[in-house]
Amino acid sequence: MSKTYRRDYRPRWARPTEQTFRCRHCKLMVAPLPSGGRHRNHCPFCLYSRHVDGDRPGDRASTCGSLMAPVGAFVRRKGEHALVHRCLGCGFERHNRIAADDRFDLILRLPLVPPRDGSAVRPAGDEGERIA
């Protein structure tokens, strides 16, 4: 009796992996996450990503494969920073947690954007103010 194997038909670059890879934007080698996450979703040196995830983060189901530029950042209620990436190929947007080894100075240079998940910090003095 022969065994049957399920073949993964996603492109090779879209399959889940925890290996080292070369960033397509800055060309530096990127190692797996040191801690705090299951999937590396952007380069810690330039913050660019690649459009590999489909409906769920980490599913690697997208067929686009274009670069995703960091277009902004926001802070969640518990103080965690998040990046917003926009695909340069199809315009898809996704927010991602920052990693422990990300260049935080680059994150702070990004424009603050409205929260993408409803859990961002509200600026002080914003309660009850009206625009005339």
pTM (whole model) above 0.85: no
55 or 5, which is more confident? 55
Counting the structural domains of the chain, the total is 1
* Helices and strands in the chain, H and E counts: 1, 6
Of the candidate ranges 26-40, 46-60, 97-111, 117-131, the one whose mean pLDDT is the lowest:
117-131
Q: Is residue 86 part of a domain?
A: yes
Q: Is residue 122 part of a domain?
A: no
13, 59 contact by CB (below 8 A):
no
Residue pLDDT, tens place only, 72-131? 999 988 888 999 999 999 999 998 888 889 999 999 999 999 886 654 444 444 444 333
Strands in 67-113 per DSSP E: 67-75, 81-87, 93-97
Least confident piece of the model among 7-16, 32-41, 49-58, 112-121: 7-16
Residue span of the structural domain in which 74 resides = 12-109
